[in-house]
Amino acid sequence: MNISSYIIIAILAVVVISFIVIYNSLVRRRNQVHEAWSDIEVQLKRRYDLIPNVIETVKGYAAHERNVLEHVTQARTQAIGAKTLQEHANAENMLTNTLKTLFAVSENYPDLKANVNFLDLQRELADTENKIQSARRFYNTNVRDMNIAVESFPSNIIANSFNFKQEEFFELEDKAEKAVPQVKF
């Protein structure tokens, strides 16, 4: 073998190794996106599990606010049943708005506002909202990194060849983010 054969083999080796590194990087990023979404789902489930307790507590004090309680229940049901990322975003926006209304109604009931169980639930819900926001930021960071890898040269060639797709960001309305239930003492 002459020197040009060694050069060709070295170039092929570099190309193959680069291909493997890029492919594995895309797989890692895709799995990080899925893991980050799983973190969001855990926090959303926590939120969904807290809501019936809040409703039951409010129901004892504000029984004639049935319409508000039904809206919260319907919004929770829609959020739990959401399938796509956009459905989740829409349902979460609606749920946040109905919770905001529920907590606004609770302001009219001093005994409810003083109820230790209600205050604990309100605190837990506010904590969960913060965790959802944090998980959403983490997810969107991973989506951004995946999308950059899918669009950038030369990884875009491998991404297109192996059907790696851009991921969708999980975005909520600004007003919904600002409407995190507030804990007031």
Closest C-alpha to 167, from 18, 40, 26, 24: 26
Please say whether the beta carbons of 132 and 47 come within 8 A. yes
Residue pair 34/85 in contact (Cβ under 8 Å)? The answer is no
Per-residue confidence (pLDDT) for residue 174, from 0 to 100: 59
CA-CA distance, 47 to 169, in Å (whole number)?
Answer: 20
pLDDT in tens, the chain (185 residues): 799 999 999 999 999 999 999 999 999 999 999 999 999 999 999 999 999 999 888 888 877 788 888 999 999 999 999 999 999 999 999 999 999 988 888 888 888 878 888 889 999 999 999 999 999 999 999 999 999 999 999 999 999 999 999 999 998 875 444 445 555 44
What pLDDT sits at residue 161? 95
Q: At residue 69, what are phi and psi to the nearest 5 degrees?
A: -65, -40
3-state secondary structure of 78: helix
Task: For Cα atoms 76, 80, 86, give the angle at the middle one, nearest 5 degrees.
Answer: 100
Give the C-alpha separation, 170 to 86, whole Å: 8
